[in-house]
């Protein structure tokens, strides 16, 4: 398997389709997977917990990919791979409108009435 880059200074933005939505993740390593037809994404980057403001989308993605060492994405789901200067915010967008999707709390406040 050949990795595009393993240098810690490089950051990549991976844009891919997942569960009917467009995900934008950041990582330090991307390349062809040992599994034919897949792209391997490793060393996922998320914001540190030191921030006072918590981005719900970032938190959702961190929980979804918690413990993932390598992500193998089907090549047909990958829309774009970009090398960027620095990490940005992880984003989930609606496939049709392109608008950002913000997860709402699971508890229904009207349930207690």
43-66 pLDDT, tens digit each? 999 876 665 666 788 888 888 999
Q: Which residues of the chain have pLDDT under 70?
A: 1-8, 48-54, 97-113
- How far apart, in Å, are the Cα atoms of 42 and each of 17, 56, 71, 91? 17, 22, 6, 18
Q: How many CB atoms lie within 10 A of CB 22?
A: 20
What pTM does this model have?
Answer: 0.74
Domains and CATH numbers, the chain: 3-95 (2.30.30)
């Amino acid at each position: 398997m050949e990795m595009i880059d393993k240098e810690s200074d490089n950051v990549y933005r991976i844009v891919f389709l997942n569960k009917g939505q467009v995900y934008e993740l950041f990582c330090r390593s991307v390349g062809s997977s040992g599994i034919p037809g897949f792209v391997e994404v490793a060393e996922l980057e998320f914001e540190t917990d030191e921030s006072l403001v918590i981005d719900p989308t970032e938190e959702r993605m961190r929980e979804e990919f918690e413990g993932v060492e390598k992500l193998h994405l089907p090549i047909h789901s990958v829309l774009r791979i970009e090398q960027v200067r620095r990490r940005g915010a992880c984003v989930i967008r609606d496939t049709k409108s392109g608008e950002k999707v913000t997860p709402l709390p699971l508890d229904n406040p009207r349930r207690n009435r």
